Structure 1
């Protein structure tokens, strides 16, 4: 197989790690779904990026990761779960999840020792992660699948439910930054309650406005749990 000339315009961004799974064993390498050239080792990917002058270059330590990368959508799912689980651990909440996700609930958190009507309140979250630029007018305009929308809205549920959307950089390598004194997870997560959201006649999805003022933090999780203890939703 002959090689195709590589230029900056040839390589489409974002660089899709999932398409590098065939980079070993003499298969065609794909960048953003376009066959570019024949490679036998993932190290040649690094050389390719150097040749076209891209700054978002994988380090030598990431070459094995490039050749064995997880599908990007699955990475987003796992990354947000870890992000939210870290906040919950910091808030002192117990975490649980169901083996089957058929009710738009990805994770459940439970507290203990609260002084409201319920001493061991619970909250449930539907998790979404995106690198798309969806911010407009101080809100995230998130296209939520219709099933998720219907499952999250309404007050006829025992446990308060919330939608949590994590905004991540387009480049997977920028999701986690390692510093001398800390590890930083990028970027931020935001939440909204659809408890009083109206019914929608849309067939596939409903655009949900998530205020940028509603960041999902340790304190936000604690406030949600306090509200649940009092028998209400935020």
Structure 2
């Protein structure tokens, strides 16, 4: 498996691990025709809603740029961007950005008390953005993600709409 494919697969697996730890179901679609990599669902009731869910596009990034307290990401083309913003959608959509070490051998670290996945994942809701009128796959769309939007078990459950767990910390 080539470096780009390995990095992308690891990013999706990183999200899968967090979702499993958060008690969420993860699903994929038969074909990626709608710009969605993974669906995440809480298998139960959350107040008046049964089985709340979100859909996500997962991107990996090994050379992050930060400016003014935000990750400055230029990795979405205009078509991908529109698939996250041009709603309304019946299921909320998010961009998940997994920032990874540049070297393939640095994705994980085994320690005496467990396995460390490196480095961090971030989430961003683009629903308030304006779609590109005539999107072009050849043009990139800049996205600024607040560095405080770290994806954790707790934030993932909150995005899905799952009830909080007493053990979350």
Structures share a fold, TM > 0.5? yes
Structure of higher RCO (CA pairs closer than 8 Å, 6+ residues apart): 2
Question: Which of 136, 145, 168 is equivalent to 1:210?
Answer: 145
For residue 221 of structure 1, what is the aligned residue in structure 2? 156
1:149-188 to 2 correspondences below 5 Å:
149-188=81-120
For residue 13 of structure 1, what is the aligned residue in structure 2? none
| Alpha carbons 1:200, 1:206 under 8 Å: kept | no
For residue 89 of structure 1, what is the aligned residue in structure 2? 20
| Alpha carbons 2:27, 2:39 under 8 Å: kept | yes
Q: How far is 1:108 from its partner?
A: 0.3
| Alpha carbons 1:122, 1:159 under 8 Å: kept | yes
Secondary structure, aligned partner of 1:73: helix
Q: How far is 1:91 from its partner?
A: 0.9
Q: How far is 1:138 from its partner?
A: 1.2
Which protein has the bigger helix share?
A: 1
Q: How far is 1:187 from its partner?
A: 0.5
Secondary structure, aligned partner of 2:44: coil
Larger Rg: 1
Q: Could you tell me how far apart the structure 2 residues matched to 1:82 and 1:217 are?
A: 14
1:52-74 Cα distance to aligned partner (Å, 9 max, x none):
xxxxxxxxxxxxxxxxxx21110
1:184-203 to 2 correspondences below 5 Å:
184-200=116-132, 203=136
Q: Does residue 109 in structure 1 map to residue 40 in structure 2?
A: yes
Structure 2 length normalisation: TM-score? 0.88
For residue 7 of structure 2, what is the aligned residue in structure 1? 76
How many residues are paired up?
A: 158
Unpaired stretches in structure 1, ≥5 consecutive residues: 1-69, 228-234
Q: Could you tell me how far apart the structure 2 residues matched to 1:133 and 1:95 are?
A: 27
Unpaired stretches in structure 2, ≥5 consecutive residues: 163-169
Q: Could you tell me how far apart the structure 2 residues matched to 1:113 and 1:96 are?
A: 16
Secondary structure, aligned partner of 2:26: strand
| Alpha carbons 1:91, 1:219 under 8 Å: kept | yes
Which protein has the bigger strand share?
A: 2
Moved over 2 A (4+): 112-117, 199-203
Q: How far is 1:171 from its partner?
A: 1.1
Structure 1 length normalisation: TM-score? 0.64
For residue 166 of structure 2, what is the aligned residue in structure 1? none
1:28-85 Cα distance to aligned partner (Å, 9 max, x none):
xxxxxxxxxxxxxxxxxxxxxxxxxxxxxxxxxxxxxxxxxx2111011110111100
